[in-house]
């Protein structure tokens, strides 16, 4: 079964968990739920969890206290490992993962002692991103994308196994000659390097692109190329509705090559794309958690999306993307944590041969 078909089947049953009355028997009155975030306080995942925590508390049965507990280390593998070992299946411990937790798992990093397939998805939070270039490349519009072929391009990267693995795989798949300069602390630092003229191709997540790059585009200092795209109901990558005039990655690939993307290398790209964007952040419950507790969390996350406080503040934290539950979250969870053995080997071998990357270091 293809990854696309798997998601399509999951989406066909979206919301089924929400119709079950089983969760009505769950009661967390007087309890405290720990939401483990395997990153330091103040980062994106921490901000995301602290935004959701009081709303989750409000709509879980019994209105328990939900506290965010930071367990940083090992690029998030430390906190995830501790959750896998310590968390009991009683609904009192929740883990917030991100692409930085998914990627080491997909790559088979030896630091990973957790098994995603043991966990139960309660909610997924997607995001998007846009790739852009400097007009110094001769590109003045998306239609000029082919002018990048054969040029020496430079990209500021956080590291080959970070979320910047998506552009690394994408650019390589397109046949672009990109030098990835590792060691930047964040995408904001990458953008500043672009603005200083140190690099000539970059990407920013959607909210950062709209806030910080769109002004550069309007000033003629940056040219949008493509978005990573979003998944439609059939599991196909399509244009991001936040950027309807910018082609998705598959469209840009076809513009460059004359063919739709396919094959093992594309499947590997899709696996990391989903783990890094459509399923970038996920709230999961531990192995063995009863279905009624999982359903209670699904229902709480779904109900809170109509809360006035949520509606008033979600744009600042989530951008234009909606958090998802039920069948859609299940589909994203499955696709964002699955990669074939051969595709994993191909990516790991490529990282070692071309970039000297040794997993676990």
What Å distances lie between residue 76 and 39, 46, 80, 250, 278, CA to CA? 6, 12, 6, 30, 19
Q: Do the Cβ atoms of 120 and 94 come closer than 8 Å?
A: no
- For residues 230 and 253, give the distance between their C-alpha atoms in angstroms, rounded to a whole number: 15
Reply yes or no on whether the pLDDT at 16 is more than 50.
no
What Å distances lie between residue 208 and 12, 187, 190, 214, CA to CA? 33, 9, 12, 9
pLDDT digits (tens, 9 = 90+) for 306-318: 999 999 999 888 8
Provide the 10 A C-beta neighbour count for residue 27.
12
Q: Do the Cβ atoms of 128 and 206 come closer than 8 Å?
A: yes
Q: Do the Cβ atoms of 124 and 158 come closer than 8 Å?
A: no
- For residues 147 and 331, give the distance between their C-alpha atoms in angstroms, rounded to a whole number: 37
Q: Do the Cβ atoms of 124 and 282 come closer than 8 Å?
A: yes
pLDDT level of residue 14 (50, 70, 90 thresholds): very low
Nearest to 121 by CA among 283, 346, 305: 283
- For residues 212 and 206, give the distance between their C-alpha atoms in angstroms, rounded to a whole number: 10
- For residues 172 and 333, give the distance between their C-alpha atoms in angstroms, rounded to a whole number: 26
Mean pLDDT (whole number) for 322-331: 91
What Å distances lie between residue 336 and 69, 149, 293, 328, CA to CA? 24, 30, 23, 12
DSSP label at residue 249:
H
- For residues 250 and 261, give the distance between their C-alpha atoms in angstroms, rounded to a whole number: 6
pLDDT level of residue 15 (50, 70, 90 thresholds): very low
pLDDT digits (tens, 9 = 90+) for 77-102: 999 999 999 999 999 999 999 988 99
What the block records as the tokens of 283 is 């709230």
pLDDT level of residue 8 (50, 70, 90 thresholds): low
User: Which pLDDT belongs to residue 18?
Assistant: 43
User: Which pLDDT belongs to residue 20?
Assistant: 46
User: Which pLDDT belongs to residue 5?
Assistant: 53
């Amino acid at each position: 079964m293809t990854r696309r078909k798997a998601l399509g089947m999951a989406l066909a049953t979206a919301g089924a968990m929400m119709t079950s009355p089983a969760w009505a028997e769950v009661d967390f009155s007087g309890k405290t739920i720990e939401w483990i975030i395997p990153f330091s306080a103040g980062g994106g995942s921490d901000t995301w969890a602290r935004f959701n925590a009081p709303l989750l508390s409000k709509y879980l049965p019994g209105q328990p206290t939900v506290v965010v507990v930071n367990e940083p280390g090992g690029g998030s593998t430390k906190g995830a490992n501790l959750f896998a070992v310590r968390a009991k299946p009683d609904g009192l411990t929740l883990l917030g993962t991100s692409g930085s937790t998914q990627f080491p798992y997909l790559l088979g990093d030896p630091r990973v002692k957790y098994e995603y397939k043991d966990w139960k998805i309660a909610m997924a939070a997607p995001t998007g991103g846009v790739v852009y270039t400097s007009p110094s490349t001769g590109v003045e519009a998306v239609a000029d994308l082919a002018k990048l072929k054969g040029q020496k391009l430079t990209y500021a990267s956080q590291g080959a196994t970070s979320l910047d693995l998506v552009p690394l795989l994408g650019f390589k798949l397109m046949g672009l000659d990109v030098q990835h300069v590792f060691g930047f602390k964040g995408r904001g630092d990458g953008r500043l390097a672009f603005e200083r003229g140190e690099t000539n191709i970059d990407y920013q997540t959607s909210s950062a692109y709209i806030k910080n790059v769109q002004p550069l585009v309007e000033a003629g200092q940056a040219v949008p190329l493509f978005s990573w795209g979003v998944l439609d109901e059939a599991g196909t990558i399509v244009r991001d509705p936040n950027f309807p005039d910018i082609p998705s990655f598959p469209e840009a690939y076809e513009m460059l090559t004359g063919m739709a993307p396919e094959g093992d290398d594309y499947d590997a790209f899709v696996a990391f794309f989903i783990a890094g964007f459509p399923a970038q952040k996920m709230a999961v419950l531990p192995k063995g958690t009863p279905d009624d507790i999982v359903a209670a969390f699904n229902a709480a996350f779904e109900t809170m999306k109509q809360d006035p406080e949520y509606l008033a503040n979600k744009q600042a934290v989530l951008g234009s993307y909606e958090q998802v539950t039920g069948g859609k979250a299940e589909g994203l969870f499955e696709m964002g944590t699955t990669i074939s053995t051969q595709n994993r080997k191909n990516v790991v071998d490529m990282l070692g041969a071309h970039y000297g990357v040794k997993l676990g270091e």
